[in-house]
Structure 1
Amino acid sequence: MTITREEELEHLREIGRIVANTLQAMARAIEPGMTTGELDDIGRGLLETAGAKSAPEAVYGFPGATCISVNEEVAHGVPGDRSIHEGDLVNIDVSASKKGYFADTGATFRVGRVAPGLDRLLRDGRRAMQIGIAQVGADRPLAGIGRAIEAFASPRGYTLIRNLASHGVGQALHEYPEEIPTWSVRGERRRINRGLVLTVEPFLSRGALWADTGDDGWTLHGMPPAPAVQYEHTVVATDRGAIVVTLPG
Structure 2
Amino acid sequence: MIISSDEDLQALRDVGRICALAVKTMGGALEPGITTRELDAIGRKVLEEHGAQSAPELCYQFPGATCISVNEEVAHGIPGDRVIAAGDLVNIDVSAEKAGFFGDTGASFIVPPGKPKVEKLLRDGKRALFLGINQVKTGTPFSRIGTVIGAFALKNRYTLIGNLASHGIGRSLHEEPKELSTWPDPEETRIMEEGQVFTIEPFLSLGGEWAEDGDDPWTLYSDPQAPTVQFEHTVVATKNGPIILTLAD
Report the TM-score, using the length of structure 2 for normalisation: 0.99
2:161 alignment partner in structure 1: 161
1:74 alignment partner in structure 2: 74
2:202 alignment partner in structure 1: 202
Unaligned runs of 5+ in 1: none
- Superposed CA deviations along residues 178-206 of structure 1, whole A, max 9, x for unmatched, are 11000001132110000000000000001
- Superposed CA deviations along residues 75-109 of structure 1, whole A, max 9, x for unmatched, are 00000000000000110000000000000000000
1:29 alignment partner in structure 2: 29
Alignment of 1:90 with 2:90, yes or no, is: yes
Written as runs of structure 1 = structure 2, the 5 A alignment for 1:123-142 is 123-142=123-142
> How far apart, in 2, do the equivalents of 1:15 and 1:187 lie?
33
1:232 alignment partner in structure 2: 232
Describe the SS at the equivalent of 2:65.
coil
Alignment of 1:2 with 2:2, yes or no, is: yes
> How far apart, in 1, do the equivalents of 2:178 and 2:47 lie?
25
> How far apart, in 2, do the equivalents of 1:34 and 1:103 lie?
26
> How far apart, in 1, do the equivalents of 2:123 and 2:56 lie?
27
Q: Offset at 1:136?
A: 0.7
Q: Offset at 1:10?
A: 0.3
Q: Offset at 1:134?
A: 0.4
1:38 alignment partner in structure 2: 38
> How far apart, in 1, do the equivalents of 2:49 and 2:187 lie?
45
Alignment of 1:211 with 2:211, yes or no, is: yes
Describe the SS at the equivalent of 2:194.
coil
- Superposed CA deviations along residues 206-239 of structure 1, whole A, max 9, x for unmatched, are 1111001111110000001011000000000000
Q: Offset at 1:157?
A: 0.7
> How far apart, in 1, do the equivalents of 2:167 and 2:188 lie?
15
> How far apart, in 2, do the equivalents of 1:186 and 1:118 lie?
30
Letter in 2 for 1:44: R
Letter in 1 for 2:218: W
Alignment of 1:152 with 2:152, yes or no, is: yes
2:185 alignment partner in structure 1: 185
Letter in 2 for 1:132: G
Describe the SS at the equivalent of 1:189.
coil
1:111 alignment partner in structure 2: 111
Describe the SS at the equivalent of 1:104.
strand
Q: How many residues align?
A: 249
Unaligned runs of 5+ in 2: none
Identity %: 58
- Alpha carbon RMSD of aligned pairs, Å? 0.6
Describe the SS at the equivalent of 2:226.
coil
> How far apart, in 1, do the equivalents of 2:46 and 2:18 lie?
8
1:63 alignment partner in structure 2: 63
> How far apart, in 2, do the equivalents of 1:107 and 1:20 lie?
9
- Superposed CA deviations along residues 110-152 of structure 1, whole A, max 9, x for unmatched, are 1011111001100000100000000111010010000000011
> How far apart, in 2, do the equivalents of 1:114 and 1:39 lie?
20
Describe the SS at the equivalent of 1:141.
coil
Describe the SS at the equivalent of 2:187.
coil
Q: Offset at 1:67?
A: 0.1
Letter in 2 for 1:200: I
Report the TM-score, using the length of structure 1 for normalisation: 0.99
